[in-house]
Structure 1
Amino acid sequence: MNASGGIRTAHLFDMAVDLCPQLPFGKGPFGRRVLFGAAGGTFHGPELHGEVLPGGGDWALFDAEGTMRLDVRLTLRTHDGALLHMTYGGRWVAPRPVREALADPSERHRIDPAHYYFRTTPLFETGAESYAWLNGIVCVGSGRLVERGIAYTVDQVL
């Protein structure tokens, strides 16, 4: 914490994830479940960079009010070949007036991210010694929709 008692953060990386066509499971006992599969992507930051491997995704759950609860698992490969398991939960909340525009795949990336709330809490796991420091940190992320998928700014909580 800093002198004023607030939480300090440091930029870890920016990440863009290309998405596969969504797979709707339908409405179940906990809400409407949709898989947003990861088709690939990239991440770039001051201490690490590389690619998002295909195969992960977000097993999202929408509640009756339209809030999406994220359940994401991704595999990142660093520029030097280390594998990082990245998981995060979070919330994506879109006010009713912008939901229709956000549902249009050809237009949703044009919606100003200030019109919706998209926050995440990434954690990492790796056996790579040079990146073992990631195993002990907590992060926060801010997401936004982009043309081919989603993008995040991820900060380490200090």
Structure 2
Amino acid sequence: MEPVLATRYVFTITAEVAGITSAGDIGVGERRIIPIVGGEVRGKNINGKVCAFGADFQIVRPDSSIELEAKYALQTDDGAVIYVDNRGIRRGPTELVQKLNRGEAVDPALIYFRTVPRFETGAVKYRWLMQSLFVASAARHTDRVVIDVHQVL
């Protein structure tokens, strides 16, 4: 029998994003910076907003796959601040990824977009975020990224 890895859905982060700034080809791909300008977090045990600062730092590889590293913060409805460091991979058929890169709409089901978020906070109520591993499935839309976060059990 193969081992089974179980997860449990915990919340969704909807991060609103601004336009792309390119630092150009860095030898392994194009370095891009995408500001995170707001949004919300919603779930059974956590609700709040995405703070209007932070960014997603990406490298677009020659095969059009994207390596990403987003750093931003959440503020819960009860005032706690939670730092987020979310790393992942987005890939799909070249023509669809190019449409996304131009800011055009693409059906998220056609794109592989997975991340590994890490959380830090001094708020005792949310320390559980620092005591487990999390994985997420994400979808890029024209003005936002929707991230469904799952706790690895």
Give the TM-score of the pair, scaled to structure 1. Answer: 0.90
Alignment equivalent of 2:120, drawn from 102, 125, 136: 125
Task: For residues 54-91 of structure 1, give each alpha carbon's deviation from its aligned partner in whole angstroms, at most 9, with x where no partner exists.
Answer: 11111101111111001111100011000001111110
Q: CA deviation at 1:135?
A: 1.0
Give the letter aligned to residue 116 of structure 2.
T
- Aligned-residue identity in percent: 29
Q: Distance in 2 between matches of 1:66 and 1:29?
A: 14
**How many residues get paired?**
153
Q: Where does structure 2 lack aligned partners over 5 or more consecutive residues?
A: none
Equivalent positions of 1:4-153 (< 5 A) are 5-105=3-103, 107-108=104-105, 111-153=106-148
Q: Distance in 2 between matches of 1:24 and 1:103?
A: 11
Task: For residues 20-53 of structure 1, give each alpha carbon's deviation from its aligned partner in whole angstroms, at most 9, with x where no partner exists.
Answer: 1111111113321000110000010111010000
Task: For residues 109-128 of structure 1, give each alpha carbon's deviation from its aligned partner in whole angstroms, at most 9, with x where no partner exists.
Answer: xx222211100001111111
SS in 1 for 2:126: helix
Q: CA deviation at 1:4?
A: 5.9
4+ runs of 1 displaced by more than 3 Å? none
Give the letter aligned to residue 95 of structure 1.
P
Indicate the RMSD between aligned Cα atoms, in angstroms: 1.5
Q: Where does structure 1 lack aligned partners over 5 or more consecutive residues?
A: none
Q: Distance in 1 between matches of 2:128 and 2:29?
A: 36
Give the letter aligned to residue 128 of structure 2.
W
Q: Distance in 2 between matches of 1:143 and 1:151?
A: 5
Give the TM-score of the pair, scaled to structure 2. Answer: 0.93
* Alignment match, 2:149: 154
Q: CA deviation at 1:100?
A: 3.6
Q: Distance in 1 between matches of 2:63 and 2:142?
A: 26
